[in-house]
Amino acid sequence: MASMQLLKNLSIRTKAFAASLVLLLCLIGIGGNAYLTSDRTATDLDALTAVNLPKQQIVAKLETDITAIHLKVFRYVSWGSNSVSASLLRTLSAETRHDLAAMKDRIAALKARPDLAPAERELVDSLSQHWTKYSSAASDTLDVGATDAPMATMMLGGTDDDFEKVGASLATLSAFVDGQTASIGITLAGNAKDNQRILAFGGAAGVLLSILVTLLISRSIVRPIQYVTKAMKQVSSEKFDLGSTYMDRSDEIGQMVRAIADYRDKLMTQNLRFDAALNNMPHGLAMYDGAQRLVVSNRRYAEMYGMTADQAQSGTPLRQIIEQRIANGLYAEPRSEEYVREYLAPATTSSVRIQELNDGRSIVISRQAMADGGWVITHEDITERRRAESQIAHMAMHDALTDLPNRVMLRESLEHAISRVKRGEVVALHYIDLDHFKAVNDTLGHLVGDELLKAVADRLRGCVRETDTIARLGGDEFAVIEMALARPNDAALLAQRLQDAVKAPYLIDGNQVIIDSSIGIALSPDDGTTVEELLKNADLAAYAAKADGRGTFRFFEAEMDRRIKERRSMELDLRAALNDAEFRLHYQPIVNLQTGEITSFEALIRWQHPTRGLVAPSEFIPLAEELGLIVPIGEWVINRACADAVTWADHIKVAVNLSPIQLINKGLVEVVTRALARSGLPASRLEFEITETVLMQNTTVTLAALHQLRALGIHFSMDDFGTGYSSLSYLRSFPFDKIKIDRSFVKDISGEKNSLAIIRGITSLAASLNMITTIEGVETAEQLDHVRPLGCAEIQGYLFSPPKALEEISRLLLPKAEKKSTAA
């Protein structure tokens, strides 16, 4: 490891020198080895010539000589059988016996040799044994042959057997000795081969070592250089994973690699910034080259089309990307090929278009052509934006609660309907107003009210055709545009259906709710051919339906229009009247029945209309109340009455009528306080007349105002008592000072016993409650006679004086005041 490290860190020049040195050492090693090997061969050769070859010769001679001896034995027996001369036989026998003995000695000599191998010695022993046996058999045969030739012949068989054994033994020995020689030969040949091999292997090893050294050197030089080249290529193609190879080397390679790493780091930082910018774009961005291959793209691009990072690698053909999108099911099926054609068309111009995808997304695709035939393309998902836009558009045209079209959209639809009227169709506009919806809100709460409106909307939807339009105009008002009526009566049928639908009971949050509706119908073209006209006339008809007692429907009639117009003009006049000082106050005296003196005046308003003349309060007060104008008018009355009354004698009060609307208005107490202060009238001289309808509201606001005013010292009288409910509980709920008995009782007093009894009853009731009573509407002396004994404190009526202007009552007062002062 350490040596490897050293190798890496040596400079290239040192390495080259080291390599040459290694080669030189190799060559010396090979030469030395070859020399040593040849020395060993000489020793082996000596062993062969000095020992083995002589032994081999001896054994070979034994073989020859033993065979010769055996032949002599055969010859002897043969000669004996064939009657050869006895002297010859004797000579041959002696010769053979000599040979046998000599052979025994030779074998013994062989056995005595010191240079026998152990295995070889065994073989020689065996030979010796076999020879002894043979020799004995041979000499027996010779013995027998001397006298008995046939028997000797007989014995030759056994002798021959023994010879065979000797022969075999000798052959084995011979083979062994041969083998030994051969083995030395083989050793020699082996040595020679070794020598050759050492030279060859040595040479080869030298070559290998040289190659190895060269490889090692090249490994430490060439490979790093290749690596450097590869690394440069990688970095230039933006593959930054260099690893730490060669980085820590201190030679030239190390320097190069570190330089590349520095370059790589800079490039990486740059790329990271670029990637961060690219991948954090909300748009999908891609660049294609002239061959329609992806050059670069950001993450969003792949995400938008459900592609994996692999599928959007640079180099991917556009066709493949488009096919991937088709495979992802993003394009409507039959058009897939069309998309491919469209996308693959050469990008010569820049373009922007919107692509609707199968999954409901909308993508804005902007393509910017480049000089090389490629292009940069951005994909922006505008689905959410579109959805928001359409939702906003929907919200602008629809009611949030019921999701019905609103007034704006109704007008548009009506416009469209009228355009069809011009082509000969008849259209009806139904104006639907829920009756007493406010009561539902007040008693059950707004949540239930809202649920009811939704339920009503649902029922209305169920009544109309698809071509018709339902709208909610706000509050409890709905409208239906009925298209293409066959005859006008169709509108009545629909109105009845709508009404029946609305009328059925609802169950909301456990509350059973029943609500009715009033419907006004205007037909086009008869009742108008503009949106304004139709809306107004349907509204008028609905108003008329309500006036007719609700729960019904009315067609628009011209008369309605006239009445409404009149009302409208009066409204305008009424608003102007206050500014133009057209109101007057008239005063009617209230007289003490006992003394006949005036105790107070009731202030009564009059409207001096510039063209109509004097208008009765009953004609304009309800309108003023409805319009809320009663508040400023009432304020004027209070101020005027206070200012007038201060001019009268100190004991005369002024009575002013208060409307329930005025009492609900929070400014009343302040208005009254200011009027008293400004005029200087003591509060005790001001009296307010209120009807029981004020107390029917019985709101905390009303009662608080009444008590505050009473605390100022102002007196209160219950007006028009005896009409309406006349509930005694109202008398208990607020401490009135006075009860004014309605004029209707006096009117019939002469023929009605009941009226008298009632007046008497009220009077005694009032007395027991510490209140005084005033009888209104006394017009004749006869009436006065009737009421006089009933115990009333005061009377009011034409018998004494009609309501008169301030100037006139001054005259009425003056003489009395004088009379009084003179009396005093």
Partner 1 sequence: MVKRVQKMYAEAGAEATFKAVDDKSNPLFHDRDLYPFIYDLDGVCVAHGARPALVGKSLISLKDQNGVYLIQEMITISKGPGSGWVDYKWPNPITNKIEDKSSYVEKMGDYFIGVGVYRDLPGKS
| Residues that bind partner 1 in the complex, under the rule CB under 8 A | 136-137, 140, 143-144, 146-151, 153-155, 157-158, 161-162
Q: What DSSP state is assigned to residue 52?
A: I
Q: Minimum CB separation from partner 1 for residue 195, in Å? A: 54
Q: CA-CA distance, 663 to 191, in Å (whole number)?
A: 143
The position carrying tokens 């052509």 is 369
Question: Which residue, 161 or 342, has its beta carbon nearer to partner 1?
Answer: 161
Q: Minimum CB separation from partner 1 for residue 78, in Å? A: 15
3-state helix, strand, coil in the chain (%, to 5): 60, 15, 25
Q: Minimum CB separation from partner 1 for residue 153, in Å? A: 8
Q: Minimum CB separation from partner 1 for residue 159, in Å? A: 8
∠ CA 362-368-369, nearest 5°, is: 135
Q: At what angle do helices 53-81 and 86-111 cross, to 10 degrees?
A: 160
Q: CA-CA distance, 173 to 160, in Å (whole number)?
A: 20
Strand 469-474 to strand 477-482: parallel, antiparallel, or no bridges (unpaired)?
Answer: antiparallel
Helix (H) or strand (E) holding 24: helix 12-47
Question: Which residue, 148 or 509, has its beta carbon nearer to partner 1?
Answer: 148
Longest Cα–Cα distance in the chain = 237
| Beta strands, E only, 247-369 | 284-288, 294-297, 351-356, 362-369
Question: Which residue, 136 or 496, has its beta carbon nearer to partner 1?
Answer: 136
Question: Which residue, 137 or 363, has its beta carbon nearer to partner 1?
Answer: 137
The position carrying tokens 């999954």 is 359
Q: Minimum CB separation from partner 1 for residue 73, in Å? A: 14
Q: Minimum CB separation from partner 1 for residue 126, in Å? A: 17
CB 716, CB 676: distance < 8 Å:
no
Question: Which residue, 134 or 543, has its beta carbon nearer to partner 1?
Answer: 134
The position carrying tokens 């692509």 is 355
Q: Judge if the upstream peptide bond of residue 525 is cis by omega within 30 degrees of 0.
A: yes
Q: CA-CA distance, 777 to 320, in Å (whole number)?
A: 103
Question: Residue 413, exposed/middle/buried by CB under 10 A (0-12, 13-18, 19+)?
Answer: buried
**Buried b / exposed e across 284-313, counting CB within 10 Å, b at 16+?**
bbbbbbeebbbebbbbbbbebbebeeebbe
Q: CA-CA distance, 354 to 367, in Å (whole number)?
A: 11
> In whole angstroms, how far apart are CA 307 and each of 302, 316, 350, 362?
5, 12, 25, 18
Question: Which residue, 137 or 658, has its beta carbon nearer to partner 1?
Answer: 137
Question: Which residue, 44 or 140, has its beta carbon nearer to partner 1?
Answer: 140
Question: Which residue, 143 or 490, has its beta carbon nearer to partner 1?
Answer: 143
Q: Minimum CB separation from partner 1 for residue 145, in Å? A: 9
Question: Which residue, 141 or 702, has its beta carbon nearer to partner 1?
Answer: 141
Question: Which residue, 54 or 158, has its beta carbon nearer to partner 1?
Answer: 158
Q: CA-CA distance, 360 to 426, in Å (whole number)?
A: 40
User: How far does CA 192 lie from the centroid of its chain?
Assistant: 89
Q: CA-CA distance, 619 to 624, in Å (whole number)?
A: 9
User: How far does CA 761 lie from the centroid of its chain?
Assistant: 80
Question: Which residue, 158 or 761, has its beta carbon nearer to partner 1?
Answer: 158
Q: Minimum CB separation from partner 1 for residue 49, in Å? A: 42
Strand 804-805 to strand 511-513: parallel, antiparallel, or no bridges (unpaired)?
Answer: unpaired
Q: Minimum CB separation from partner 1 for residue 62, in Å? A: 22
Q: Minimum CB separation from partner 1 for residue 129, in Å? A: 14
Question: Which residue, 168 or 277, has its beta carbon nearer to partner 1?
Answer: 168
Q: Minimum CB separation from partner 1 for residue 72, in Å? A: 19
Helix (H) or strand (E) holding 613: strand 613-615
For residue 731, give the nearest of 774, 700, 765 by alpha carbon: 765
Q: Minimum CB separation from partner 1 for residue 80, in Å? A: 11
Question: Which residue, 137 or 668, has its beta carbon nearer to partner 1?
Answer: 137
CB 485, CB 427: distance < 8 Å:
yes
Q: Minimum CB separation from partner 1 for residue 66, in Å? A: 18
Q: Minimum CB separation from partner 1 for residue 39, in Å? A: 55
Number of H helices, E strands in the chain: 28, 22
Question: Which residue, 162 or 433, has its beta carbon nearer to partner 1?
Answer: 162
Q: What DSSP state is assigned to residue 292?
A: S
Question: Which residue, 144 or 330, has its beta carbon nearer to partner 1?
Answer: 144
CA dihedral for 220, 221, 223, 228, sign (positive or negative)? positive
Q: Minimum CB separation from partner 1 for residue 154, in Å? A: 6
Q: Minimum CB separation from partner 1 for residue 93, in Å? A: 14
CA dihedral for 735, 737, 743, 745, sign (positive or negative)? positive
If you write DSSP's letter for every residue of 394-460 in order, what string do you get? HHHHB-TTT--B-HHHHHHHHHHHHHHHTTT--EEEEEEEETTHHHHHHHH-HHHHHHHHHHHHHHH
Q: Minimum CB separation from partner 1 for residue 128, in Å? A: 18
Q: Minimum CB separation from partner 1 for residue 134, in Å? A: 10
Question: Which residue, 141 or 524, has its beta carbon nearer to partner 1?
Answer: 141
For residue 249, give the nearest of 261, 239, 237 by alpha carbon: 261
Question: Which residue, 161 or 337, has its beta carbon nearer to partner 1?
Answer: 161
Question: Which residue, 135 or 783, has its beta carbon nearer to partner 1?
Answer: 135
Q: CA-CA distance, 80 to 86, in Å (whole number)?
A: 8
